[in-house]
């Protein structure tokens, strides 16, 4: 169904505002998903602070050209949606979860990260970065590990002295 000029302007403005407010954007191919799964995906993305919007490729391309990002724009095939958020990694990570469960119906086509275009492979790598809370926990564990080793060694020395006495 053809869009009216007013509707196209509205969609273009929505895509432009998404690109303005986003710290990273994921280009998503999503076709053939049943309505229930699409709604579930949108709900899950929203819970994680990720916005999701489906628009015509030509309008998205026009908005991207106006922004002038570095690098080569990835090829857009099929239906196209944008997933974006304030966090740099969350959009890619959350979309990647759906890629795993819906292999042929949802794909990452590429994205924008730190002001430049990224390929699908690069966005998948970005998606593998753990959440900030997980990174904090891993950091604390690294710091805590030598201290725990020292405490356990001192405890063993104390137990040996008690056994000898």
Same domain for 36 and 96? yes
Q: Which residues contact 36 (CB under 8 A, 6 or more apart)?
A: none
Q: How many CA atoms lie within 13 A of 158 on its CB side?
A: 6
Q: 50: domain CATH number?
A: 3.30.70.1730
Whether 91 and 110 have beta carbons less than 8 Å apart is answered as: no
| Residue of 125, 103, 110 lying closest to 77 (CA atoms) | 110
Same domain for 61 and 75? yes
In the chain, the number of structural domains is: 2
Same domain for 119 and 134? no
Spatial separation of the C-alpha atoms in residues 46 and 97, rounded to whole Å: 14
Across the beta sheet with 80-85, what order do the strands follow? 50-54, 80-85, 24-30, 106-113, 116-119
Q: pTM of the predicted model, to two decimals?
A: 0.76
Question: In the prediction, which pLDDT does 165 show?
Answer: 63
Domain hosting residue 155, numbered range: 130-165
Tens-of-pLDDT digits for all 165 residues of the chain?
Answer: 567 888 888 888 998 988 888 888 999 988 878 888 888 889 999 998 899 998 888 888 988 888 888 888 888 887 889 999 888 888 999 889 888 877 778 888 999 998 889 898 888 888 887 777 777 787 777 787 777 777 787 788 878 877 776
């Amino acid at each position: 169904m053809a869009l009216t000029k007013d509707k196209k302007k509205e969609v273009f403005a929505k895509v432009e505002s998404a690109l303005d407010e986003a710290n990273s954007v994921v280009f998503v191919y999503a076709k053939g998903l049943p309505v229930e799964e699409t709604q579930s995906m949108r709900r899950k993305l929203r819970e994680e602070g990720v916005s999701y919007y489906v628009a015509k490729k030509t309008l998205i391309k026009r908005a991207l050209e106006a922004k002038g990002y570095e690098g080569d724009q990835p090829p857009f095939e099929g239906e196209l949606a944008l997933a974006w958020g304030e966090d740099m990694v969350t959009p890619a990570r959350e979309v990647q979860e759906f890629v795993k469960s819906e292999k042929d119906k949802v794909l990452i086509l590429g994205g924008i990260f730190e002001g430049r275009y990224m390929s699908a492979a690069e966005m998948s790598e970005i998606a593998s970065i753990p959440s900030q809370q997980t990174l904090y926990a891993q950091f604390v564990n690294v710091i805590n590990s030598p201290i725990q080793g020292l405490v356990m060694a001192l405890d063993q020395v104390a137990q040996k002295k008690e056994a000898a006495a």
